[in-house]
Amino acid sequence: MVSRRRMIGAAAATAGGVLLMRTTLRPAAPAAAPAAAVQDTAPDHTHPGADAPDPGPDTGPALVEKFTTTLPVPPVLSPVSTDGGADTYAVTMLRSFARIVPGHRTEVLTYNGAFPGPVIRARSGRPVIVRQTNLLDDAVSVHLHGSKVPVASDGGPMNLLGAGATRTYTYPNDQPHASLWFHDHAHHMESEHVYRGLAGTYLLTDETERALPLPSGRYDLPIALRDARFDASGTLVYRMDDPFNRTTILANGRPWPKVEVAARRYRLRLLNSSNLRFFSLRLADGGPITQIGSDGGLLERPHTTDTVDLSPGERADVVIDFSRYPVGSTVVLTNSLPPGPPEHVGQVMRFDITRAAADPSSVPDRLRTLPAPGPAARERTVVLKVEEGTGGAAPRGLIDGRTYDPARVDAAVAFGTSEIWTVVNANTDVPHNFHLHLVQFRVLERNGKAPGPEESGLKDTVRLLPGESVRLHATFDSYRGRYPYHCHLLDHSAMGMMAQMEIA
Ligand SMILES: [Cu+2]
């Protein structure tokens, strides 16, 4: 186990190291953006800062003393109506200011003014309706990541909500419990929008999950991890494909925070909401972490590990028992992956064990039962690649050799069937991952072998280190229509590493 973990870390470390040279070429000008076909229909907006002078190194590490800010608990939204068998929410997207680094107010893009976004709590079988009003300057699109929803509410890359407009998204919640998240998906702009704050948490529960004696209430914490870059005035700096300068680690929007915990079990819903950063998380003392769930809800059985790997968009549901630490002690959550100075990016947040507490919670040996993947009607291969531009052109994100074209169907899927997709990272030095809209899939194989226990449950996003391949099993029996699939390194999808399936 340990040697396998070390291999993953080493591979990702190599990938990250070369990522600098391979893909930090940013678009020289808006006209050099990927795929002319997309350029015509993309929002009329350039990436601010693309041509501006470099603002210098990330000042976050200098502005912040680690473990002095407190991990915020993101606000839970209250419905404006619970009539008609559904919970209705009203959300306004607006520019706001957040206190991220001490002594500064940082302009951010928000859902309802919250950075990061608020939490929506939902139950399987009870629809949620979200009325989104866009008071930003840009067109946006709100995607509920991991959800099974009709195309009209999927928040696809071209299904835009213009500045000043209001639109209603309907989420049937006709799916089992899962820790989902919602974020911007407007083509070309999703990477900057999400980076500047348009991301929130959506916790869907059901009877299966609620019947278990897992830590709950104040002992169940959603924690979104990401990186960021700041200038000397505390302003968030966004530059396309800039992983090496994003060296400030944020947890729930605060840099290297601490959180006071009782000496008992906690459930942590970890989300990697970074644009590009992969995390390999460990407790500093190598203590045990019990993973109970992944993207699509609980695993069949918990598995105990010392390391949790998360690529952008992935979630891990874990239980940590702080009763093994004396009251008065602390333990740091660390990250072993570059890029960036290990003294900064190697630290994430700190747990301060401040009090004793009774603990009626437990983690059962059996969490749920998942159906075995059935027969597949067809197999297909999907190849991901980022290609450096020549002659000063921008790098291009490719799926099967092509950049995203919303007018093109890349995969015709027969409604009601299952398929096996082999997804390949054709780059030898750049990591990717793969996100399929609409479905939760199963990972059948990773590099020709059975996946680890952390990938044995339902997934919607799967990591692909350089040269890796995964075989996925997905069933398309819910909604018809055109849904995207893409690399969830958002700077890559913004470069065109996205394609479209039509289920008919
Ligand atoms: Cu990618």
Residues 239-279 pLDDT 10s: 988 999 999 999 999 999 999 999 999 999 999 999 999 99
Task: Please answer whether residues 158 and 41 qualify as being in contact, where contact means their C-beta atoms are separated by less than 8 angstroms.
Answer: yes
Tell me the CA–centroid distance for residue 236 and ligand 1, in Å: 23
Sorting pLDDT into bands at 50, 70 and 90, what band is 331? very high
151 burial level (CB within 10 Å; 0-12, 13-18, 19+):
middle
- Whether 36-210 and 217-356 share one fold: the answer is yes
The pLDDT tens digits for 290-323 are: 999 999 999 999 999 999 999 999 999 999 999 9
**What is the pLDDT at residue 51?**
56
- CA-CA distance, 306 to 242, in Å (whole number)? 29
> Closest Cα to residue 458, out of 126, 175, 156?
175
User: What residues have a C-beta under 5 A from ligand 1, the ion?
Assistant: 432, 487, 489, 492
Predicted pLDDT of residue 224: 98
State the pLDDT at residue 388: 86
Q: Show the tokens assigned to 88.
A: 């209705």
The reported pLDDT for the residue numbered 55 is 84
Cα 400 to ligand 1 centroid, rounded to whole Å: 13
pLDDT, tens digit, 9 for 90 and up, residues 71-97: 999 999 999 999 999 999 999 999 999
- 285 C-alpha to ligand 1 centroid (Å): 32
Q: Determine the distance separating the centroid of ligand 1 and the alpha carbon of 432, expressed in angstroms.
A: 4
Residue 190 has pLDDT above 80, yes or no: yes
Residue ranges covered by each domain of the chain:
36-210, 217-356, 378-503
- What's the 436 CA to ligand 1 centre distance in angstroms? 13
As a three-state string, the secondary structure of 149-174 is CCHHHCCCCCCCECCCCEEEEEECCC
Return the pLDDT at 392: 80
pLDDT, tens digit (0-9, with 9 covering 90-100), for 459-492:
999 999 999 999 999 999 999 999 999 999 999 9
Interval 112-126 mean pLDDT: 97
CB of 219 closer than 8 Å to CB of 361: yes
What spacing in Å lies between the alpha carbon of 407 and ligand 1's midpoint?
A: 22
- Rounded to the nearest whole angstrom, what is the distance from the C-alpha of residue 217 to the centroid of ligand 1? 36
Distance 381 CA to ligand 1 centre (A): 16
Task: Please report which confidence band the pLDDT of residue 52 belongs to, taking 50, 70 and 90 as the band edges.
Answer: low
Centre of ligand 1 from the C-alpha of residue 403, in Å: 12
Q: How far is the CA of 434 from the centre of ligand 1 (A)?
A: 8
* Per-residue confidence band for 393, with pLDDT thresholds at 50, 70 and 90: confident
Q: What is the CA(341)–ligand 1 centre distance, in A?
A: 23
Can you name the CATH fold of 378-503?
Answer: Immunoglobulin-like (2.60.40)
Q: How far does the centroid of ligand 1 lie from the alpha carbon of residue 343, in Å? A: 26
Write out the H or E segment, with its range, that includes residue 39. Answer: helix 36-39
CATH topology for 36-210 is Immunoglobulin-like (2.60.40)
Q: How close is the Cα of 463 to the center of ligand 1, in Å?
A: 10
Residue 357: the pLDDT is 96
Give the residue among 499, 487, 479, 498 at the shortest CA–CA distance from 149.
479
Read off the pLDDT of residues 442-459 as tens digits, 9 standing for 90 and up: 999 999 999 999 999 999
CATH 2.60.120.200 applies to domain 217-356: no
Compute, in angstroms, the gap from residue 182 CA to the centroid of ligand 1.
Answer: 20
Q: Pull the structure tokens for residue 179.
A: 């820790």
Ligand 1 mean position, distance from CA 465 (Å): 10
So what's the pLDDT on residue 54? 81
Cα 367 to middle of ligand 1, angstroms: 33
- pLDDT for 48 equals 43
Residue 56 has a pLDDT of 87
| Banded pLDDT at 350 (limits 50, 70, 90) | very high
Q: Which residues share a beta bridge with 302?
A: none
Please answer whether residues 310 and 276 qualify as being in contact, where contact means their C-beta atoms are separated by less than 8 angstroms. no
**Interval between CA 315 and ligand 1 midpoint (Å):** 18
Ligand 1 centroid to residue 45 C-alpha, Å: 22
Please compute the mean of the pLDDT values over residues 193-211 and round it to a whole number: 98
